[in-house]
Amino acid sequence: MDIHEILAHLPHRYPMLLIDRILECEPGQRIVAIKNVSINEPFFVGHFPHHPVMPGVLIVEAMAQAAAVLSFRTLGTRPDENSVYYFVGIDAARFKRPVTAGDQLRLEVVLNRHARGIWKFSAKALVDGVVTTEAELMCTQRAL
């Protein structure tokens, strides 16, 4: 999926859109997405000027955005202005190495379960094949 399809599957926009491309998507199973980490990211101005590091919460958010695309693709729907896709839980989050300007994050998300409107995922982010972050995510879609 290119950026135009991603924009159709996520309500996020700059500066909160954290996915650049979807490499693989198996609805009901898994998704693989890419986030190119540029020195031009707005968070690098203050985190940290002398050593640019992507905030861990944004890495987790990028994994959740990939999970959201997987959810919408699984349901065969797209987001609209009458609903929102929320985090309801983040468990076992681990940050194993910093992500810096120039890195390319590979976001791998697996759907573990979907029941009663709650989606559970296992997610990890990698740079050059090395895991930087991993977490278990729970999300739901709610009407506004």
Which positions are annotated as active-site residues?
47
Closest CA to 35 of 15, 51, 8, 52: 15
In 14-70, where do the E strands start and end?
21-26, 30-36
User: What does the alpha-carbon distance between residue 140 and residue 116 come to, in Å, rounded to a whole number?
Assistant: 9
User: What does the alpha-carbon distance between residue 26 and residue 100 come to, in Å, rounded to a whole number?
Assistant: 29
Cα dihedral: 42, 45, 47, 48 (round 10): 150
